[in-house]
Amino acid sequence: MGEMAKGALHRWLTALALSVALVGVPGAVSAEPPDDGKEPPVEGVSEITKLLGEEYDLLEALDQLDADRKRQEKALAEAEARRVAMVARRNKAEFEHNEAKVKLETERERIRRRIRVYIDLKKVKDWQLLASAGDYASYLRMRHVYRELAKDDEQRIKDYHKVVDDYRVARENLDAELAELQRIEAALNEARRKLERDKAVKQALLESVRTDKEFYAKAGRDLDKAAEALEKQVQNFEEWTGKRLWFRDLRGQYSLPVPAGVITRGFGKVVHPRWGTVTMHRGMDVVPGRKGEKQVRVIYWGKVVYAGWLKGYGNTIIVDHTQGDYTMYAHLERIDVKVGDMLESRQQVGILGKSGALGDARLYFELRLGGKPVDPVPWFR
């Protein structure tokens, strides 16, 4: 898909996401076939039928939705962390504000009393002091005391002004923290809304693939294109000549890459039970067994030649076992290795998931001999 088409796809998906958020999930129909044997109409899929056009790639759309989901989950986590920090700051500002308020009210009552005394002292004239003192020495002492009291009251008034200023600053800080917290809460709600929107769109697309023949066929064609791209990629891997392994000697003795896992789909042609259409499955699907273990382990020694996202396969690891033999582990939730890593047999390489998948969580495993996919099932005990 060209860059212009990708841009158009992204813009259209955004518009579709908004419509889904407003009117519900399109394409959601009953999984049960009707009694009359006719294909059920897919309701409300007019918004997503554009993906049936060959200029669009259904897998590209799903990848875009997965990428958007990851971005929104990251934004949500960051906003939540900011909210936690902001709540702590808000609580601190609230405590400081309340403390300043109590101090202000206490000082206000005290200063009222002192102001009255201060005014009375200011009214006393020197001759009144002299007359009441009886002698000059007593007058000097009384004048000194009055002046000291007046200075103390002046300082109290200045201190009171500082208390008022401190209270105003505490109030402004609290208002600022509350406004910031409100902004973060809004960002959180927006991230949650976008996340739910993208989930709804993906659900609509997957439901259409599952219940609509045209979408199912389009998904098959796009998967074939993804398989061809994978084929070219494998052919372009630089041959690992530094070591020689004997991968093929252990045919029938390997353990499944998911410990105690269950194979739900094998290699070969898959005939749709309702429509009779045929698609090619070039590997096998493995799901967790009774214990629910989701660790994915490499089945044999090798070297990681690819670790990343592949269209149609999601998070994928490809391991070179020399002599043109490769194993592939796809739809991973998490990748635990990187390109160039030398792996030991049964080393954990990731966690099973459903990244890039058209269905539920599973491991897609592929075995390639001489670069070509072969049936992997007989290679396991």
Whole-number percent of the chain with pLDDT over 90: 32
Cβ contacts of 30 within 8 Å, gap of 6 or more: 40
Domain spanning 252-379: which superfamily? Glucose Permease (Domain IIA) (2.70.70.10)
The predicted structure's pLDDT at residue 328: 98
**Higher confidence at residue 165 or residue 269?**
269
Report the pLDDT value the prediction gives residue 54, as an integer from 0 to 100. Answer: 65
**pTM (2 decimals)?**
0.65
- The pLDDT-based confidence of 242 (bands split at 50, 70, 90) is confident
Give the CA distances from residue 192 to residues 25, 59, 65, 80, 331, in Å, rounded to whole numbers and listed in that order: 17, 24, 15, 11, 24
Residues 364, 283 contacting (CB under 8 angstroms): yes
Of the candidates 358, 346, 350, 347, the residue with the CA atom closest to the CA atom of residue 329? 350
Return the CATH class of domain 1-33+44-211.
mainly alpha
Q: Residue 84: is its pLDDT beyond 90?
A: no
pLDDT digits (tens, 9 = 90+) for 308-330: 999 999 999 999 999 999 999 99
Kindly report, residue by residue over 256-304, the tens digit of the pLDDT: 999 999 999 999 998 988 888 888 999 999 999 998 999 999 999 999 9
What pLDDT score was predicted for residue 40? 37
pLDDT tens column, 50-64: 666 665 788 888 888
> pLDDT of 97-156, one tens digit each?
888 888 888 777 777 776 676 676 667 676 776 677 777 777 677 777 767 766 776 777
Domain boundaries, the chain: 1-33+44-211, 252-379
Distance between CA atoms of residues 207 and 67, nearest Å: 19
